Every structure is written in structure tokens, then in C-alpha cells.
A and B are shown apart, each in its own frame.
Chain A
Amino acid sequence: MSRFLETLSQRILLFDGAMGTELITRGMTRGDCSERWVLEEPDQVLAIHADYSAAGADVLITDTFCATRHHLSKHGLDSSLEAVNTRAVRLARQAAGTGKFVAGDVGPTGLMWPPMGTADDTRVAALVTEQVVILVQETPDLILIETQFDLREAVAALRAARKMTSLPVGVTMTFNRTRRGYFTLVGDTVEKCIKTLVDSGADFVGANCSLTPVDMTPLVGLITELADRPVLIQPNAGQPQVQGSTVHYDTSPEQFAEQIRPILDTGVNAIGGCCGTTPRFIQAVRHLLDTRKSPEDNGGNF
């Protein structure tokens, strides 16, 4: 078993928080591609990883969310595919050292499946394979396929990554909360997603983005019940608010951590932050993890 999965079975691991909003506070212009900063402002990307590490994150996620050829080509960066993915892992590793973990990040490819678009297994697999091959050369500790809103794409990406590496591969889906329950954008149920991902060989599963910790709590209960393997949850910080030309979230780091508490009680194995979270949010969750008393202190729903 990998060191990552072994640790995950022993205690709740803390993943880091958002990257894009942190780059903006460091001067990235709106709409620029955060992967470009890996090439042009690596010190800033490194500083963000270091901040999350200092805040107590156990797992640092590489700045490669949009680093497939399809996305990079929209920013004229497709010729830098290898450089972006290689350097991004190195930057995260530099901040993580050997004690912490590095997650090679794979976001949605940007293709839509029918009837919305023309994506299929072959096209998605090609894009993901190309990215994962580069990521794993730099030996991250795991591959994280995240923010998936169409189970077809999640499975295609998972299978493609699985073929390319023996590293742990996990998948987090993005669900919306409706009157009838939780569904992905295209209507996949939680049960279908989790069962299919488990059957397709995911080493861990979970949910991220779209929802606040409060809205995510009932969803986490469903996931931990369905999954016979570790669960990762990364909620958003709250609802975004705008003052002038800056965006902030209405939830404080302390409130966020307090809202995370019931999620930990459902037996998740890993927790982190998505949109709007900062090193201060992660620090607050670190404090919670280090001080909370619970019969399930070790996490572990499996």
C-alpha cells in the first residue's frame, strides 16, 4: 500500500485550499491562466504552496487544474503542456518536502459530452493520459481527478489515469443540491457516481466545489455510507461577495472550520477547501483537527 493510502487509513488528512484566488491576491490579472504562473511566476506559486504547508495542510495540490492540452490551447500554452505539468509538481514538492504529500491535479477536460457536446471516451482518455503521463514522471504521491460534473467523463479520466500509473488515484464529483436531493449538473445521482467510481477502481472518492460545508453535510453522510473506501471532501468557503473590484467570501475561517466539524463526524478520511478558501481557512481546520475530540477521531469509514 502507498504511504498516502496508509496514512489516510490512520488519520484524517488535510488537503490545501484554493489556488486561483490566492494568485489573484498576488497580482494575477483577472482571466489569466493560473497555469501560466507556473511558468512565469513560479516563486508566487511556490509561496502559496508554502503558505498552505505552513497552515498545516498534509496534501498540496499542484497548479494543474486546467493543464490539459484542450484548456492550455485556449490560452496559447499548448506547446508548454509538458513544462507546466512538470514544473507544477516540482513546485508543490519543493514546498511539501518529503513529509507531506503532493497530489497531481486533473480537472475537467473542458469537453462536454452529448447532447451538450461531442466528448467521448477516446477524446477524454487521450487528454487525461497525456497530462497524467507527464505528472507521474515527477512522482507526486497521488493523482486527484476533481470537480467532475459528468460521471461519463469522471470514469473515462479515472480509467485513463489508472492505466498510466500505480499511484493512488482518487475522484471527487461536484454535486448541486436540489429539492429532490443531490445531483451532478447532468443528473447523475450520488449513488450511481460513488458505486461506479468504486467499481472503476478509484482509490478514494468524494465531493468538492459548488456547496458550502453546511449544504454539503447531508451529502457527505450519503457518500460515506456508499463508499467502501476513503472519502475526501472539499467544500467552498461560502457565497462570494464583491466589493469594488475584489471578491471575498462571507464566511470567516473560524466559521468555516465550525461548519466542517459535522462533516468530520460523518467519518470522512480527508478534508480540504475549494473556491474561496485561503491558508487561514486551512489553518482553522488544522486547529479543529488537532483539538477535536470524537469517538471517530481516526476517521476511517472503511
Chain B
Amino acid sequence: MKDLLQKAFNAVMDGDSELARDTAEAWLAAGGSPLDLVNQALTPGIREVGRLWEDGEYFLPELVSGAEAMKTAMIVLEPAMVQTDTGTSGSRVILIGTVCGDIHDIGKSLVATMLKANGFQVVDLGADVAPERFLRAFHDHHAALICMSALLTTTMTGIPELIRLFESSGVRSQVAFMAGGAPVTRKWASEAGVDYYGDSAVDAVRIATDHFRRRNG
């Protein structure tokens, strides 16, 4: 079994989706607990991928391949997890989208992939999302965190606009906002009324993890 743990870790590190799937299947066939594979191999693997990316050793292709390998393994494990996982308390739902007018969704999709790979329930609203759609989805999914991104300086003002809509609708206190994107800076995000600024997909995972830990206890 130890050998399979190492294989699963390596599959994520090397971005090898096929190996990730095969290893997850072999793990279940050998009677392993799906949560053990997640906690002891896949999650450490994706964290290591994230660390190497932050250190400038890995780049976008390695990050995307690693997250894809993790997702592939999760698809195999998830049916078994439903039976064994006692579940987490409280919402782990995250809404994500690029703000109104911004059709650039590469970074946003990467953040969504990384959040999913780390076990969050992500509702991806896509690109060019009107503020009203964010609000409707917030109600529909009982989301606890909303991630917004903007690539252009010309669209980033959509971030404070969205927050103002939640304020005027009286639901601002029920949800936290995270923002990112090339022109967005920590200082700017803070002034725009955003709760969290994420400067990378890895940073976003860390912030979301801390947020839900505090929120759900």
C-alpha cells in the first residue's frame, strides 16, 4: 500500500492523469480508504506542486497537469468517499467567475481547478458574469465565499461594483469575497472592500482553506 501512496503522490507531482487514475483504482481494489489516499498522497502532492509553482520551479503547464491528475484520481475515489466520509459541517461552496465585461477566464479556471482539486465544492459561473448572476447563484447555492477575477484594468472596477450590490441587497455580511487577476493588488483589493486578495491559484487555496476552517470550526 505504501508503494501506491508514493505512486499517487508522484502522479500528481508529474501531472500524470493516467497513473493517478490507475493508482486510485488499485488503491480501492486493495481495500484502501479513499480518504487516506487523499490525505496521505494526493493532497501532499498538489501542495508540493503548488509550492514548486510559487518557488518558480514549476510553471502553468505543470500546475494545470498536477491539478488535472488530482481531479482524475478524485473522480475514481469520490463514489467510495460518499459511503465513508462523514461529511464536513457547514457550507464549503465557492462561487467563482470573472467580473462583468471581462472574458479572460484562463486564470479564473485555473483557480477553480485548484480549489476543486483541494476538495471544495466550486460553482464556476464562467466569464463575463453580471453582478445579478453572482447574487442569484449566491442564493441558489448558499455560497460562503465568492471569488472574482479581472484581467484588465478596464474591467477591475467590476469587483467593487459587485460588492456594492451585495451591500445594497443586505447580504454582504453572509459571504466573503476573494479577488485576483493580473492588475489586482493587495492594496487595491483592500480599498475595493474585498475580504481576501489572492495573488495566485495556490494562494487562493490557502485562503479558502483558512476561511472555511475559521467559519465552520
Contact = CB atoms under 8 A, between A and B. Distances in A.
A24 B160 contact: no
A115 B192 CA distance: 34
B165 interface: no
Interface residues of B, number: 35
A163 to B, nearest CB: 28
A21 B103 CA distance: 17
B157 A179 contact: no
A241 B185 CA distance: 8
Contact of A242 (B102, B128, B157): B157
A98 interface: no
A275 B60 contact: no
B101, B110, B154, B187 interface centre (most CB from chain A within 10 Å): B154
B140 interface: no
Nearest to B184: A240
B86 to A, nearest CB: 35
Nearest to B57: A180
Contact of A247 (B55, B56, B153): B153
B23 to A, nearest CB: 19
Contact of B59 (A74, A187, A240): A187
A222 to B, nearest CB: 16
Interface stretch (B40-48, B61-69, B117-125): B61-69
Given A74-B103, A241-B188, A245-B161, A30 B56 contact: no
Contacts of B188: 240-242
The dominant DSSP class at the A interface is loop
B103 A247 contact: no
Contact of A115 (B61, B154, B183): B61
B106 interface: yes
Nearest to B100: A31
Contact of B154 (A116, A183, A186, A247): A247
B144 to A, nearest CB: 26
A32 interface: yes
Given A186-B60, A240-B185, A21 B153 contact: yes
B156 A240 contact: yes
**Chief secondary structure at chain B's binding surface:** loop
B152 interface: yes
B61 A187 contact: yes
B191 interface: yes
Interface string A15-59: 000001100100011111000000000000000000000000000
B50 interface: no
A114 B188 CA distance: 33
A21 B155 CA distance: 10
Central interface residue in A21, A24, A115, A186, by most chain B CB within 10 Å: A115
Contact of B61 (A116, A210, A242, A276): A116
Interface of B: 15, 55-62, 64-65, 68, 100-103, 106, 110, 128, 152-158, 160-161, 182-183, 185, 187-188, 191-192
Interface of A: 20-21, 24, 28-32, 74, 112, 114-116, 178-180, 183, 185-187, 210, 239-242, 245-247, 275-276
Task: Please list the 9 inter-chain residue pairs (A to B) with the smallest Cβ-Cβ separation, ordered nearest first.
Answer: A31-B101, A187-B59, A178-B56, A180-B56, A247-B153, A245-B157, A240-B183, A240-B153, A30-B101
19 contacts: A20-B152, A24-B154, A29-B101, A30-B155, A30-B158, A31-B100, A31-B128, A31-B154, A31-B155, A31-B158, A115-B61, A180-B55, A185-B59, A187-B58, A187-B59, A210-B182, A240-B188, A245-B160, A276-B153
